[in-house]
Amino acid sequence: MRIVTWAIRLALFLLLAAFAAKNVEPVALRFYFDIVLQAPLIVLLLGFFAGGALFGVLALLGALLRQRREISALRRQGDAAASVPPPPPF
């Protein structure tokens, strides 16, 4: 199964490398106030992909930190409940 997984990864990498090699023509990205950025198409595509991935990670960071705080609070409650001795039997 590992060989199949690595073969798929290699094929995907080669496909993306071939895509990058075919898209090296410079393109102009026009911003407001007459600002123009000229770069190869693949550089812009990879840059916007990385920016989107970073934005997604930052969007999930708040929820992740909130869950960690809740888990630590629940662990403290569990530790406090475990430290209370049980009542004596009758």
90 belongs to a structural domain: no
Looking at the whole model, is its pTM more than 0.75?
no
How many structural domains is the chain composed of?
1
In-domain check, residue 75? yes
Q: What is the pLDDT of residue 29?
A: 85
Beta-bridge partners for 38: 28
pLDDT for the residue 51: 94
Residue 54 lies in a domain: yes
15 assigned to some structural domain: yes
Close Cβ partners of 60 (under 8 Å, ≥ 6 residues apart): none
If you average pLDDT over residues 32-61, what whole number do you get? 90
Q: What is the mean pLDDT of residues 35-46?
A: 87
* Mean pLDDT value across residues 16-38: 86
Outline where 1-90 has alpha helix (H): 2-22, 41-83
> Is residue 88 included in any domain, yes or no?
no
Give the pair of three-digit tokens for residue 35.
């600002």
The parent domain of residue 36 ranges over 2-83
Q: Tell whether 71 is covered by a domain.
A: yes
* Mean confidence (pLDDT) of the chain: 87
